[in-house]
Chain A
Amino acid sequence: MTDSPTVSGSLRNRLVLTLIGGAAILAILLFLAVRSYAARVAQQGQDNILSASVASILDAAAIRDGQLEIDIPYAAFSMLTTPSDDRVFYAIYQDGAFISGYDELQVDEPVAQANWTFQSTEMRGESIRQVNAGRTLVGLGKQTQIEVALGQTQDALSQTMDQISRNAAFLGIGFFLLAACLSFWVASTTIGQLNKLTTSVTRRGPQDLSPFRKPVPREMAPLVTSLNSLMGRLDQSLGQSEDFIAEAAHRVRTPLATVRSYAEATLHRVERKENREALRAMVRAIDESSRAAGQLLDHAMITFRADHLEREDIDLVVLTKDLVQRLTPIAEMRELTLSLTGARAVPYSGDPILLQNAVRNMIDNALKYAPVDSTVVIDVRADPNVQIKVSDAGPGFPSEEIDMLTRRFERGQNATGTIGSGLGLTIAQDVATAHGGTLELSNKPEGGACVILSL
């Protein structure tokens, strides 16, 4: 079976993580940007009202009788009313000396006529926004500088800020979720193309080594190109090794066949017992070697096919009937009868070449050990499970060895004198296993071996 490749990371995860990470950073930036902009706008609003208020206080200042008089208008404070009942502090200084209001409210530097300053500061444990404004009053040859500081707590503002922050957070989260969904979708569709290619590679039969023709995205074209060239080389080398095996078999078997035919022909002309024995031994050796070579090739082929089982809908009875017909001449040579019994049709989905080989090996085995003038019964049935049973009237399997006979190159004690490679039942067993079935060897109570291939 194929080895799993070493997996290092996942393209999909990497893609998703990158996209989601990007989306998260973008969402946070968005949140911060919206909030700071909103804060600026809100602060601007408060500053404007404070300006208006301080302006109206300064406007109310006048020098009367050489005395500074400031009648703070009601509107100056009423315009600062907020739903959160923010408190307002003020302080008035004349030429740097405190006149009225809260003296904690300091004006650090003299304020020019046109250059009001705003600052955020603390007062009585609360953060306030403070505006410092100044005005130069001239009257009766006297010039005086007044400065007004006006502060307001920021409860309403921070409430507004909270609300804006909440909304900005919702916006950021929403954006993030949407982007995350998109990145999953993008990753799936991108990886989907790869999966599609994988599926079409997997779905191929073991013999199909033709190049891929389906259109693929440009980025995958190099992969498909190299896959196609690999398939091409594989196809070529498979073809070459197949040709090589056929050629090798041809080169080896044809001379063997020549030697064998000559030996057999000579056997008919030779009278002396020693010579005849020698010729028989020769023929036997040729048969041993060619049969072993053949079965090794078959075994290799079956191992290959069993790895890539190609199931087809077949009728096991038709398959067995073909085999029986083909093996009848061999059976007749040994005065044996092949009898096919059981169901009339047993449909099954399996690899016909493998099954045929397995059943042929089972029947071959029976033919080798069955006594002359007996019947080898081949029974095919679908009840209670699909099975093919081959039983003969031979000596049966040696009971102490019955479990090891399906092992490779293992032959029973009673096989001495019979030609075989010890692979026949192994092949049958391999085929059974490949189809998820079993091969069961037993001896009938009335004598004779019985091999059951259950599928």
Chain B
Amino acid sequence: MNLTSTCHGREDFLRLMKFLLVEDNLDLANAITSRMRLDGHVVDHAAKLDDATAYAEVEEYDLILLDIMLPDGDGREFLARHRASDLDTPVIVLTARSQVSDRIGSLDMGADDYVTKPFDHAELEARCRAVLRRKSGNAKSRIEVGGIVFDPVAGHFSVGGRDISLRNRELRLMELFINAPGQVFSKQKLADRLFTYDDNVSDNAIEVYVGRLRKHLEASDLKITTLRGLGYRLDHDG
């Protein structure tokens, strides 16, 4: 039994974020792209500044991930041009430079944030989330279904009109479920997505978070079903 509600005219409420990744190292680009697609995002990849400019002119992106050192120029030039062109697409710089010297350049040039290579994907995701939250007014991340209103970017969650404040991991768990309704998530998969690799996660921890979320969803038409030996699934009672 699948959810059939719509959200802002979209067929499903997969909250698609559209990223432009500007990175000349193909291996790294592939790794980032595949990881982001795993989260259900759309990623366009440009390996050169020219391509990046062309992409940015045609498409509208939610966020640009920009490498600084590119074969045909400095990523900061792109950043400066981008800022001059009145586009307010947030930019997160991927840099291999030292954190001390780097801060001077990229943030002053108008980047919204930066991550130092090699980065923790969870950190990159957290930074994207934070940047998008700062650039609020991004109403398309709002999801209404089964009596809840959920905005993963703004971190807003309400059930039956009553606001509930979610902890960060509860929020991300909710996001995972609601972006893939009807899909079964194993405990391990959930743990991989919610925790960084160096947190020592017990199965119990996942149960605790699922339990809390279940409690929040009591007043709604949504519920989290346990499939013994397989994992969890979000169902719509409607």
Contact = CB atoms under 8 A, between A and B. Distances in A.
B118 A249 contact: no
Contact of A286 (B27, B104, B118, B189): B118
B192 interface: yes
A250 interface: yes
B96 A264 contact: no
B130 A329 contact: yes
B48 to A, nearest CB: 16
Nearest to A322: B107
A298 B98 contact: yes
Contacts of B100: 297-298, 301-302, 353, 357
A330 B123 contact: yes
B140 interface: no
B156 interface: no
B167 A257 contact: no
Contacts of B103: 353, 356
Contacts of A297: 98, 100
Interface centre among B25, B38, B100, B119 (most CB of A within 10 A): B100
Contacts of A280: 197-198
A253 B118 contact: yes
B129 interface: yes
A96 interface: no
B217 to A, nearest CB: 20
A264 B98 contact: no
B118 A301 contact: no
Nearest to A245: B98
Interface in A202-249: 242, 245-247, 249
Interface of A, helix, strand, loop or mixed by DSSP: helix
Interface in B76-115: 94, 96-101, 103-104, 113
B96 A254 contact: yes
- What range describes how many residues of B lie at the interface? 35 or more
A335 B208 CA distance: 14
A389 interface: no
The listed residue with most B CB atoms (<10 A of its CB), out of A265, A301, A418, is: A265
Interface string B164-191: 0001110000000000000000001100
Nearest to B188: A271
A265 B168 CA distance: 22
Interface stretch (B28-36, B145-153, B226-234): B28-36
Residue in B27, B98, B113, B127 whose Cβ sees the most chain A Cβ within 10 Å: B98
A419 B199 CA distance: 11
Contacts of A301: 98, 100-101
Contacts of A255: 25, 27-28
Interface string A290-327: 10001001100110000000000000000000000010
A290 B99 contact: no
Interface string B65-79: 000010000000000
B98 A265 contact: no
Contacts, number: 123
B8 interface: no
Given A257-B119, A259-B118, A261-B32, A333 B98 contact: no
B168 A258 contact: no
A291 to B, nearest CB: 9
B99 A332 contact: no
B101 to A, nearest CB: 6
B97 A249 contact: yes
A294 B38 contact: no
Contacts of A357: 99-100
A453 interface: no
Contacts of B28: 254-255, 257-258, 261
Nearest to B130: A329
Contact of B197 (A284, A326, A330, A334): A284
B68 to A, nearest CB: 8
A329 B126 contact: yes
B189 A283 contact: no
Most buried by B among A245, A268, A284: A268
Contacts of A290: 117-118
B54 interface: no
Given A284-B197, A301-B101, A333-B168, A265 B126 contact: no
B101 A333 contact: no
Contact of B25 (A254, A264, A268, A302): A254
A271 to B, nearest CB: 7
Most B CB atoms within 10 A — which of A254, A297, A301, A335? A254
Nearest to A242: B101
Given A326-B113, A332-B126, A267 B118 contact: no
A334 B126 CA distance: 11
Nearest to A333: B126
Contact of B98 (A259, A294, A329, A418): A294
A287 interface: yes
The residue in B38, B96, B169, B199 that gathers the most chain A C-beta atoms within 10 A of its C-beta is B96
B197 A335 contact: no
A328 interface: yes
Contacts of A185: none
Given A283-B197, A301-B101, A333-B126, A254 B31 contact: no
Given A258-B28, A287-B120, 4 more contacts: A252-B96, A254-B25, A258-B118, A329-B129
Interface of A: 242, 245-247, 249-250, 252-262, 264-265, 267-268, 271, 279-280, 283-284, 286-287, 290, 294, 297-298, 301-302, 326, 328-330, 332-335, 353, 356-357, 360, 373, 418-419
23 contacts: A247-B69, A249-B96, A249-B98, A250-B69, A254-B25, A255-B28, A256-B117, A258-B28, A261-B28, A261-B118, A267-B197, A290-B118, A301-B98, A301-B100, A301-B101, A326-B113, A328-B130, A329-B123, A329-B129, A333-B122, A333-B126, A356-B103, A357-B99
